Structure 1
Amino acid sequence: MKYVIGVDLGTSAVKLLLVNQAGDVVQEIAKPYPLIQDKTGYSEQDPKVWVDQTVAGLSDLMKDFDQDPKDIEGISFSGQMHGLVLLDEHDEVLRNAILWNDTRTTEQCQQIYDRVGESRLLDITKNPALEGFTLPKLLWVKEHEPNIYAKAHKFVLPKDYLRYKLTGKLQMEYSDAAGTLLLNVSEKSWSKEICYLLDIDVNLCPELIASHDEVGEVTLEIAEKTGLAQTTLVFAGGADNACGAIGSGILEDGKTLCSIGTSGVVLSYESSNDKDFAGKVHYFNHGAPNAYYTMGVTLAAGYSLSWFKEVLAKEESFEKLVAEVGGVPVGSNGLLFTPYLVGERTPHADAAIRASFIGMDGSHERKDFVRAVMEGITFSLNESIEIFRENGKVIDTIVSTGGGTKNEDWLQMQADIFDAKIVKLSSEQGPGMGAAMLAAYGCGWFDSLRKCADEFLHVDKEFLPNEENVSMYKQLFEMYKSVYHSTKQLSEGLLAFRK
């Protein structure tokens, strides 16, 4: 039996999957690491820790592997997007990586709009300037740490740095490059225009490669440390959302993913680069060859439910908390919730807006609030789906992953609010599986990623929309959308009273 390894470099841990040719996860290992948050809005990590924990995970995996190490034919990567890793002329790290969830760069985002122009930025990168992206971080270092910036020779993203340390080869692949605001997404090349307008040396940008490209083999040093064979082929990999799409089979038009984790993502496959969403949703290069994906984000999806639990049901399990929601009618007995606990991303890029319960009265019980939170999260995700549909996309089948699959009432709720068939996969490994599939495809096990998905991914259950519920939810959705505009000024006024 032959094997591949998928490495998912997340924000809190690196996760490794050993996958065989049938798509079975033979072994799974996770190694945690901390965030560095010295100031409000700052979020950093030491890239060395990523490497150390990945090597430790690979070593543990190989200790339990009782076959020939050469049977592990390939390894590939998924990784957290947007993080800035600055390297000097010797490819040594100059400072801690600034992560995707770091929000210090509001002024730099405005500088990008002032110098490039909002319309021109969307023409080139297909995305607005947001604090999470890489380019604002690069400009922040240039302004606030000029001595470090002067030593910078290249920048890469987190999983690209990890791959470099395993192979000695330094590149960035397209799906991650699309999240930098420096890539011309349609042309798949670095934008010399943006670099010129912002006085950035285009040579800081590394060589570009495709997600399934073979970049080399593991180095002798890594082979000796981990027990891997030095013949193990290494493939470029992709951004976490691109790999999550691959690992969920979002590999053809009409296929859409709804992933509910701490944040929530609605991601849809795009076969072309010529659609215009006016920056309302993200538009990135896919990890699949010559493909793209559009994506909307709810910042506090699963976080809204975990917040509710921590505040009002700290000692209970999630299973007990949501056990009664099936007995609560559509609309939670007249209670609406907007999940703006940390602001919102899609369709409102608004850091000041805050969450609301609307319609509370003395008859409401805790189970009404729980269902309202779950409905509110789903309404927020539906705003992304609405944008897709308004731009001509047909969305009739949605693969649901993450916390939203843990409760069948919530899966039915998604079917009714999204008015689409909801598919739950039998095995849910997301980005790590997507990375493993890129390695399997790169090793030549399959002619295409779609054939790999047919072999590796299987449907567990399907949920069809209930027409009566669909009708009621359409009315409620219109009410939900009005809450943002009705509470925006109130949220801004209350900022002065927050500690």
Structure 2
Amino acid sequence: MAYLGIDLGTSSVKIIAMDESGKVIGSVSKEYPVYYPQPGWAEQNPEDWWTATRDGIRELLYKTGLTGEKVQGIGLSGQMHGMVLLDENQQVLMPALLWCDQRTQAECDHIMKTLGRERLSEYTGNKALTGFTAPKVLWVKKHHPDIHARIRHILLPKDYIRLKLTGEFATDVSDASGTLFFDVARRQWSAEMIDFLTIKPSSLPACYESYEPTGGITSQAAAATGLKTGTMVVGGGGDQAAGAVGTGAVNTGTVSLALGTSGVVFACQEQYSVDPENRLHSFCHANGKWHVMGVMLSAASCLKWWVKEICQSGSDAGYDRLLNEAANVPAATGGLVFLPYLMGERTPHSDPYARGSFVGLNMTHGRGHMTRAIMEGVGFGLKDSFEIIRAQAIPVQAVRVSGGGARSRLWRQILADILGMRVDLIGAVEGPAYGAAILAAVGARQFANVEEACAAFIKVTDGVDPQPASLAPYQAMYQVYQGLYGTMKETFKTISML
């Protein structure tokens, strides 16, 4: 028997098959485009997601030799906050607005001004940010009232795939937490926010815990994918909650650090709590608990941008050459700092106008210095979230890193040195897709709970300890990094308006 984990990412869908021992027996990835019709906008076509997922499932079954009858359950994960709008015939009304779309600052300002930060935090546990779903709804109401009037269903990205697989309108508590119309403390839709946004309650999907069954594969989906009709699909989770399950960050003290397109620091909590300044997100976790999370919008994507767009070296050999150059540069890169705000920033600054910058360039710096400065700048951005978590008296006893950037041992060493903590890598590197498969195993009652499943499946396979000689240089450079945003904030806004 096997379980499938489907992770609907920003650039591709990843689908894995996991056997009952937790071993990944096959994986498939299918890419699809992101559209940027205006600066700061980011959209996708939900039909592209379904085409890639449908074809990917069929290919995975063929590659692994699995039949649909052998798949016992399916878990879903995916990019959070995106907005999919459907009409009464379940047809997509407009392109999906993504988590990294920055067009809704005016709507965020309206929410914050009208409700106030304290009331909004009381209702949702969070403040209004441009990536969240609620301001997107208001943006459509203002700019496309004809489309707004035709809305019958509002879904998150992964839940559009659920609809295509099962015919059910459903979501899970972890992904719903990122909409800004979910009552995180009570794990249900927020009546106050639904009223404020003038959303029809009937347009929102039923909400489940991440390990609960939400429906079965329809005959149409079975014919399209090769799966068996009736195969269970569980609630799943937002990519960060599912990724935390995939790294075993399901107990207090173990912190998940996701070094992917975005950068995320994720700490599980037994009880619900909120950062008084709302710098961290407070969301439901996929294991029935809660978590706090700090998010930087551009992490490994900064290095990808540098390697592919600037250095024109997008091959594996090109990456290796640039990383080798960076490895030959000492810690703190000779006074060069990179601010990783290529898509604006969320934690701790919540500023869509922030821009990426090199500060401190001089004639002694070469390409290796700049490559390393990017990796270090991302590390400093992640450290911002760690510092806030520690200030909330949340224990940080172990750090587990995942995501594409985690494949670089140099980057893991830089993180360990900046954080002053050992950084561990686990055996499974599939991240959210693996976590989604684990949730399916719990839903099939192979395990009593998520913690039991993680204890059985997840093992630390490698780790790097901080190098004592690097701690002081990084601490000094971090102080410089922290001061730069405040110095440049107004300049960033002026530049963005030109």
* TM-score bracket, shorter-length normalisation: over 0.9
Structure 1 contact 422–462 (Cα < 8 Å) conserved? yes
Equivalent-residue separation in structure 1 for 2:385 and 2:275 (angstroms) = 14
Structure 1 contact 115–197 (Cα < 8 Å) conserved? no
Map 1:83-482; keep pairs closer than 5 Å: 83-289=82-288, 291-310=289-308, 313-315=311-313, 317-482=318-483
Name the counterpart of 1:488: 489
Distance 1:444 1:203, change over 3 A: same
Structure 2 contact 6–14 (Cα < 8 Å) conserved? yes
Superposition deviation, residue 371 in structure 1: 2.1
Equivalent-residue separation in structure 2 for 1:335 and 1:64 (angstroms) = 47
Q: Which amino acid aligns with 2:275?
A: D
Once the two structures are overlaid, the 10-residue window that deviates more, 85-94 or 375-384, is 85-94
Equivalent-residue separation in structure 1 for 2:375 and 2:65 (angstroms) = 45
Distance 1:56 1:443, change over 3 A: same
Q: Which amino acid aligns with 1:201?
A: K
CA deviation vs aligned residue, 1:77-97 (integer Å, no higher than 9, x gap) = 001111112223343433332
Q: Which amino acid aligns with 1:491?
A: F
Q: Which amino acid aligns with 1:158?
A: P
Structure 2 contact 168–215 (Cα < 8 Å) conserved? yes
Superposition deviation, residue 277 in structure 1: 4.2
CA deviation vs aligned residue, 1:121-148 (integer Å, no higher than 9, x gap) = 1122122111111111111222222222
Equivalent-residue separation in structure 1 for 2:37 and 2:45 (angstroms) = 13
CA deviation vs aligned residue, 1:3-60 (integer Å, no higher than 9, x gap) = 0111111222222111111222212112222234433433332323322322222222
Q: Give SS of 1:470's match.
A: helix
Equivalent-residue separation in structure 2 for 1:155 and 1:490 (angstroms) = 37
Equivalent-residue separation in structure 2 for 1:195 and 1:68 (angstroms) = 43
Superposition deviation, residue 410 in structure 1: 2.2
Equivalent-residue separation in structure 1 for 2:43 and 2:306 (angstroms) = 27
Equivalent-residue separation in structure 1 for 2:132 and 2:406 (angstroms) = 29
CA deviation vs aligned residue, 1:344-372 (integer Å, no higher than 9, x gap) = 22111122233333333323333222222
Superposition deviation, residue 495 in structure 1: 3.9
Residue ranges of structure 2 left out of the alignment (5+ in a row) = none
Superposition deviation, residue 334 in structure 1: 2.4
Equivalent-residue separation in structure 2 for 1:366 and 1:409 (angstroms) = 16
Superposition deviation, residue 422 in structure 1: 0.5
Superposition deviation, residue 233 in structure 1: 1.4
Q: Give SS of 1:435's match.
A: helix
CA deviation vs aligned residue, 1:300-347 (integer Å, no higher than 9, x gap) = 222322333346532461111111434332221222222223322211
Once the two structures are overlaid, the 10-residue window that deviates more, 352-361 or 80-89, is 352-361
Q: How many residues align?
A: 495
Equivalent-residue separation in structure 1 for 2:8 and 2:217 (angstroms) = 17
Name the counterpart of 2:44: 45
Q: Give SS of 1:258's match.
A: strand
Distance 1:353 1:100, change over 3 A: closer
Equivalent-residue separation in structure 2 for 1:368 and 1:33 (angstroms) = 33
Structure 2 contact 184–284 (Cα < 8 Å) conserved? yes
TM-score, structure 1 as length reference? 0.93
Structure 2 contact 211–236 (Cα < 8 Å) conserved? yes
Superposition CA RMSD, Å: 2.0
Structure 1 contact 112–198 (Cα < 8 Å) conserved? no
Superposition deviation, residue 182 in structure 1: 0.4
Superposition deviation, residue 268 in structure 1: 1.3
Distance 1:18 1:145, change over 3 A: same
Structure 1 contact 175–284 (Cα < 8 Å) conserved? yes
Distance 1:309 1:115, change over 3 A: same
Name the counterpart of 1:13: 12
Once the two structures are overlaid, the 10-residue window that deviates more, 442-451 or 425-434, is 442-451
CA deviation vs aligned residue, 1:185-237 (integer Å, no higher than 9, x gap) = 10112111122233333333222111111122211222223222224211111
Distance 1:445 1:307, change over 3 A: same
TM-score, structure 2 as length reference? 0.94
Equivalent-residue separation in structure 2 for 1:373 and 1:26 (angstroms) = 35
CA deviation vs aligned residue, 1:432-477 (integer Å, no higher than 9, x gap) = 1011011111111222222222332222211122334323322221
Distance 1:177 1:274, change over 3 A: same
Q: Which amino acid aligns with 1:385?
A: F
Structure 2 contact 263–298 (Cα < 8 Å) conserved? yes
Once the two structures are overlaid, the 10-residue window that deviates more, 304-313 or 49-58, is 304-313
Once the two structures are overlaid, the 10-residue window that deviates more, 208-217 or 460-469, is 460-469
Map 1:23-42; keep pairs closer than 5 Å: 23-42=22-41
Structure 2 contact 422–466 (Cα < 8 Å) conserved? yes
Equivalent-residue separation in structure 2 for 1:111 and 1:356 (angstroms) = 30
Q: Give SS of 1:4's match.
A: strand
Equivalent-residue separation in structure 1 for 2:486 and 2:39 (angstroms) = 27
Equivalent-residue separation in structure 1 for 2:192 and 2:497 (angstroms) = 40
CA deviation vs aligned residue, 1:122-180 (integer Å, no higher than 9, x gap) = 12212211111111111122222222222222211111121122112211211111111
Equivalent-residue separation in structure 2 for 1:196 and 1:495 (angstroms) = 34
Q: Which amino acid aligns with 2:347?
A: T
Q: Which amino acid aligns with 1:230?
A: T
Equivalent-residue separation in structure 1 for 2:111 and 2:127 (angstroms) = 10
